[in-house]
Amino acid sequence: MRPEGSAPSARDLLALSLGTTVDNAGPGAEEASQSFRPRRLSPPTGERWHGTPHQVRIAGCGKYLPERVLTNHDLATFVDTTDEWIRARTGIQERRIASTEETTSSLSINAARGALATAGLTPDDLDLIIVCTFTGDYGGMPNVASVVQHALGANRAGAFDINAACSGFVYGLGVAHGLVASGLHRTILLIGAETLSRYLDWHDRTTCVLFGDGAGAVIITGEATATGTSTNRPQSGGLMSLVLGADGAGANALLVPAGGTRLPPSYESIDARQHFIKMDGKDVYRFAVSTVPDACAEAIANAGLTVDDIDLFVLHQANVRIIRAVVEALGGSWDRAFVNVDRYGNTSAASVPIALCEAVEMGRLKPGDRVLVAGFGGGLTWGAAVIEWSPFAGLTNPD
Ligand code: ACO
């Protein structure tokens, strides 16, 4: 049983440091109690789209970072750590923390609006919404994508989530590309979003200094190929290669032990802090620097390119030392590596789409560029892909 008069919770500690109160009910609880009336489905459009092969491209991107900045110096006021240690070991200087009103779906919705604006599209254009996350609004269901679908008013869209931890967005790229290339869907909103601060044990300095909250989104769409033949290798734009991998033998290196079917929530699991992220940092580090370079090299070769053809490396932003090790192992030039882990920390499935979007905003990613993306993390899972970047038809910068 839970002892009476226990120490302040981790969220209380964080709230104290941020000068906020913690509202546990959140907006979702209120929505869930409202009565539901099924809506009528949109009539069929009669468009000839289904079943014919299509050339795929990324047509827009958006990002959202919570306003609240938590610097290393702020952290050091309530965690036994220092700015020097965090900078030297990870390259992180600060991260964003969601407000108590924000959830993974609200971060996603903001990023999605930016992606739609840059693509010059509306929610009615969406056939499917995919959210890559392991920090959903609810404890299992509904999925985040359905909450986003409703909030956007994307009335024609299906919705599901992908959980491949920090590799999630790269897995999502593969799923979305396949659905559009095959002609099963025309336009997909693909989001990577995490509210990791709710899964952090602020008493555990080996993990809580590493992560942050945020969301990034892209629009994936297609055009019918002139010949009607599928190549899955578009002449311009889209995914040129994809490598996905997993090694469940390493699952215990990075996990949230409790809250699922293996260890359902209980007073004991909560008191043992097992509903927070646990990580063997050294194992994950070794895994990242040995597996990710090989996956990236394979993705580059499968695209028919060499490392010198890659204009930008957008690797998962977990640790600047890992990014540097991967780029060096590939023989790539460091000035082509995109880094924002210093400002946002590790945002898991959100890190690659946030970085892609920021690279576009900064003019570092232009139409025709070949960009290598890679994710790695819980599972253990990894993924790497080469994308040829496409022009956007809408606003160049929705912010
Ligand atoms: N502040 C100060 N000291 C600390 C902190 C901290 N925040 N954390 C650990 N230390 C101490 C340790 O206790 C240890 O002290 P000791 O030598 O007296 O025992 C010392 O610092 C060194 O600790 P190490 O764990 O050896 O540090 P290391 O150099 O391995 O760096 C790190 C740790 C940054 C976590 C590194 O291992 C790493 O980056 N791992 C990969 C993490 C990662 O990328 N995870 C996410 C994957 S993505 C996903 O799916 C969620």
CATH number at residue 121: 3.40.47.10
Task: Give the model's pLDDT for residue 25.
Answer: 39
Region 134-146: mean pLDDT is: 96
In angstroms, the CA 231 to CA 210 distance is: 41
Task: Give the model's pLDDT for residue 231.
Answer: 45
pLDDT higher than threshold 80 for residue 166: yes
pLDDT tens, 114-126? 999 999 999 999 9
Region 250-277: mean pLDDT is: 96
Task: Report helix, strand and coil shares of the chain as percent, to nearest 5.
Answer: 40, 20, 40
Task: Give the model's pLDDT for residue 47.
Answer: 63
Mean pLDDT of all residues belonging to the chain? 89
Establish if 3 belongs to a structural domain: no
Choose which residue among 74, 89, 211 to substitute to test ligand 1 binding: the one with the highest number of ligand atoms within 8 A of its C-beta: 89
Establish if 46 belongs to a structural domain: no
- Between 60 and 237, the more confident residue is 60
Region 30-50: mean pLDDT is: 65
Task: Give the model's pLDDT for residue 40.
Answer: 72
Ligand 1 atom nearest the C-alpha of 81 is 1
For the question of residue 346 being annotated catalytic, the response is yes
Q: How many separate domains does the chain show?
A: 1
Angle 271-75-138 (CA atoms, 0-180°, nearest 5)?
50
Distance 99 CA to ligand 1 centre (A): 26
Its domain, for residue 259, covers 54-388
Establish if 258 belongs to a structural domain: yes
CA distances from 368 to 53, 229, 391 (A): 22, 23, 8
pLDDT tens, 281-290? 999 999 999 9
Q: How many CA atoms lie within 13 A of 247 on its CB side?
A: 15
pLDDT higher than threshold 60 for residue 375: yes
Q: Name the active-site residue from 143, 275, 316, 357.
A: 316
Q: Which residues contact residue 264 at a Cβ distance below 8 angstroms, ignoring those fewer than 6 apart?
A: 258
Q: Which of 45-49, 80-84, 152-156 has the lowest mean pLDDT?
A: 45-49
Establish if 32 belongs to a structural domain: no
pLDDT higher than threshold 50 for residue 356: yes
Name the residue with the closest Cα to ligand 1, atom 2: 81
Does pTM surpass 0.95?
no
Distance 279 CA to ligand 1 centre (A): 9
Q: What percent of the chain has pLDDT over 70?
A: 84
Q: What percent of the chain has pLDDT over 90?
A: 79
Region 38-66: mean pLDDT is: 79
Name the residue with the closest Cα to ligand 1, atom 50: 377
Region 294-300: mean pLDDT is: 97
For the question of residue 166 being annotated catalytic, the response is yes
In DSSP terms, 217 is beta-bridged to 62, 191
Name the residue with the closest Cα to ligand 1, atom 3: 81
Establish if 73 belongs to a structural domain: yes
Task: Give the model's pLDDT for residue 341.
Answer: 98
pLDDT higher than threshold 80 for residue 32: no
- Between 255 and 394, the more confident residue is 255
Region 237-246: mean pLDDT is: 93
Establish if 34 belongs to a structural domain: no
In angstroms, the CA 74 to CA 21 distance is: 17
Q: Which of 32-36, 139-143, 233-237 has the lowest mean pLDDT?
A: 233-237
Ligand 1 atom nearest the C-alpha of 379 is 50
Pocket of ligand 1 (CB under 6 A): 81, 85-86, 89-90, 165-166, 205-206, 209, 254, 279, 281-282, 284-285, 288, 318-319, 346, 348, 377-378
Ligand 1 atom nearest the C-alpha of 377 is 50
Establish if 22 belongs to a structural domain: no
For the question of residue 150 being annotated catalytic, the response is no
Establish if 365 belongs to a structural domain: yes
Q: How confident is the model at residue 55 (pLDDT cuts 50, 70, 90)?
A: confident
Name the residue with the closest Cα to ligand 1, atom 36: 281
Task: Give the model's pLDDT for residue 249.
Answer: 96
